[in-house]
Amino acid sequence: MAERKIRVLVAKPGLDGHDRGAKVVARALRDAGMEVIYTGLRQTPEMIAEAALQEDVDVVGLSILSGAHMALAPRILELLKGNGQEHVLVFLGGIIPDEDIPALKEMGVAGVYGPGASTEQIVADIRSAVPA
Amino acid sequence: MTLADAVLAGDRLSLARLLTRVENETPEGLAALDELFPHTGRAHLIGITGAPGTGKSSLVNQIAIHFRKLDKKVAIVAVDPSSPFTGGAVLGDRVRMRDLSGDKGVFIRSMASRGSLGGLATATAGVVQVFDAAGFEIVLIETVGAGQSEVDIARLAHTTLVVEAPGLGDEIQAIKAGILEIADILVINKADRPGVESTERALKTMLELAHPVQKIFQHHGTYMAVQASAEEMAGMWMPIIQRTVATEGKGLPELLGSIQSHGEYLRQSGNWQKRERARLEAEFDALVQNELVARFRAGLTEKRLDETVDSIQKRQLSPREAVNLLLNGVGK
């Protein structure tokens, strides 16, 4: 039996074109031994949910710098649930004001990482949250 | 209802989950493969290989779009390399396939090679079987960016496309053994770039050497050509060279035509069955080997293994003698 790998979808929903952060995180997760499916820029919530389904991922990592997180995150959570993937953990990175974090966590976002967050922390959080 | 039943009934989430189990070679995944096996053997398996950066993913995207116009269900298995150091991977082929999203007739699955060196992952054949059983009529298999010896795809696929791009090598590259030999169709992608003529010429020369339409020989110092005989030509597939510009969809209708005529050729010449038989035999063979090794290892204690390796290292036994001793009890 082959070793089970943690599979992570890294996606950028919405219209901002800055994917440096998403790429840094993708690389860090790769270096931590995870399999990262990178989907590129300007993904709609529907595209992200469909990719998460086809790839049977454990985690979806969203990078949002446009300020639209309060609209995009709930939509993606809802679509994942609609597809029967309520077990998928959603992590959020980018520019997220502190005051929005409690509401995002309330919706079901598993973690929020802003500028200065360490990739080690993200790796550690994913490892402890994904059932072995 | 088992996972396999749900897959046969067309449930996409079950399909995705089963693919993971097959990829991880869990007992449940392997049992499902057995259950699905009678439903396999219907899909046209098309391999796409070539050096990194030649445009394989963009081409796969376009091929899928064109098969969708014919109302065929299309599955895509895209393999990217795993890091040899950490075992992790970044699978980025979906970036070029965004045109396909939102179409329920397409299912894309990214796979990491997980240490396998032949251009595919060990479990790729199993994943392809699941798609075949699930009713996908076309399965496109994109290999890792391949150089000269990643030729596993030719054993798995019915039709193999080798993707080249202008400016990647000269005629010596083209006559070397390896990846070009496995092509049923040679695609020169990025054909709007300079150098396309010389790339095409080099590939043509290579093909003519490998598949002689004419035989050239020297007779009293002059070169003479004789047309190959009808028997020599019959039942032979002459690889097609096709120019494309995948990002603009140029040359794609022609490429699709070539893929379909290769499928026709395989069916009519009986080579479809021949290739399938060879593949099944190789698969069976590999399983026998794995199983025998596993049984042998199970009957061997750690201590006995250690002692044996010790005697090999002390040069008391050669490795071959040690194997004979353990398997048959004969030897020093």
Predicted confidence at residue B329, as pLDDT, reads: 65
Question: pLDDT tens, B82-135?
Answer: 998 999 999 999 999 988 988 999 999 999 999 888 889 889 999 999 999 999
Predicted confidence at residue B167, as pLDDT, reads: 80
Q: Which residue of A has its CA nearest to B109?
A: A55
Mutate to test the interface with A, among B18, B57, B80, B94 (most CBs of A within 10 A): B94
Using a CB-CB distance cutoff of 8 angstroms, which residues of chain B are in contact with residue A1? Answer: 24-27
Predicted confidence at residue B283, as pLDDT, reads: 84
Work out how many domains chain A is built from and give that number: 1
Predicted confidence at residue A120, as pLDDT, reads: 94
Choose the weakest-confidence range: A98-107, B1-10, B224-233.
Answer: B224-233
**Cα angle, residue B74 at apex, residues B179 and B244 outer, rounded to 5°:** 50
Interval B231-238 mean pLDDT: 70
Q: Which residue of B has its CA nearest to A24?
A: B90
Domain-embedded: residue A98: yes
Chain A nearest-CA distance from B258, in A, is 29
Say yes or no to pLDDT of A98 above 80. Answer: yes
Say yes or no to pLDDT of B180 above 90. Answer: no
Among B88, B102, B109, the residue with its CB nearest the CB of A30 is B88
Q: Which residue of A has its CA nearest to B112?
A: A35
Sorted by sequence, the CB contacts under 8 Å of residue B149 that are 6+ apart come out as: B178, B179
Using a CB-CB distance cutoff of 8 angstroms, which residues of chain A are in contact with residue B98? Answer: 39-40, 43, 47
Predicted confidence at residue B205, as pLDDT, reads: 82
CATH number for A100? 3.40.50.280
* H or E stretch covering A63: strand A59-64
Domain-embedded: residue A102: yes
Question: pLDDT tens, B15-60?
Answer: 999 999 999 999 999 999 999 999 999 999 999 998 888 999 999 9
ipTM above 0.90, yes or no: yes
Say yes or no to pLDDT of B61 above 70. Answer: yes
Q: Quick check: B94 and A38 CB within 8 A?
A: yes
Say yes or no to pLDDT of A1 above 60. Answer: no
Say yes or no to pLDDT of B265 above 70. Answer: yes
B166 CB neighbour count, 10 Å cutoff: 19
8 Å CB contact between A73 and A60: no
**Cα angle, residue B275 at apex, residues B269 and B280 outer, rounded to 5°:** 145
Domain-embedded: residue A132: no
Chain A touched by B114 (CB under 8 Å): yes
8 Å CB contact between B244 and B189: yes
Say yes or no to pLDDT of B215 above 60. Answer: no
Chain A touched by B26 (CB under 8 Å): yes
Interval A17-45 mean pLDDT: 92
Chain A touched by B290 (CB under 8 Å): no
Q: Quick check: A83 and B13 CB within 8 A?
A: yes
Structure tokens at B62: 């376009």
Chain A touched by B98 (CB under 8 Å): yes
Using a CB-CB distance cutoff of 8 angstroms, which residues of chain B are in contact with residue A43? Answer: 98
Say yes or no to pLDDT of B214 above 60. Answer: no
Q: What is the 3-state secondary structure (H, E, C) of chain B?
A: CCHHHHHHCCCHHHHHHHHHHHHCCCHHHHHHHHHHHHHCCCCEEEEEEECCCCCHHHHHHHHHHHHHHCCCCEEEEEEECCCCCCCCEEECHHHHHHHHCCCCCEEEEEEECCCCCCCCCCCHHHHHHHHHHCCCCEEEEECCCCCCCCCHHHHHCCEEEEEECCCCCCHHHHHCCCHHHHCCEEEECCCCCCCHHHHHHHHHHHHHHHCCCEEEEEECCEEEEEECCHHHHCCCCCCEEEECEHHHCECHHHHHHHHHHHHHHHHHHCHHHHHHHHHHHHHHHHHHHHHHHHHHHHCCCHHHHHHHHHHHHCCCCCHHHHHHHHHHCCCC
Using a CB-CB distance cutoff of 8 angstroms, which residues of chain B are in contact with residue A84? Answer: 13
Chain B nearest-CA distance from A98, in A, is 30
Chain A touched by B115 (CB under 8 Å): no
Among A1, A5, A33, the residue with its CB nearest the CB of B25 is A1
Say yes or no to pLDDT of A43 above 70. Answer: yes
Second CATH level (architecture) for the domain B40-273: 3-Layer(aba) Sandwich (3.40)
**Residue reference for tokens 């950490």:** B86
Say yes or no to pLDDT of B1 above 90. Answer: no
Among A35, A55, A83, the residue with its CB nearest the CB of B89 is A35
Q: B222 pairs with which residues across the strands? A: B219
8 Å CB contact between B308 and B290: no
Mutate to test the interface with A, among B90, B109, B140 (most CBs of A within 10 A): B90
Q: Which residue of A has its CA nearest to B81?
A: A35
Q: Quick check: A54 and B86 CB within 8 A?
A: no
pTM, two decimals, is 0.88
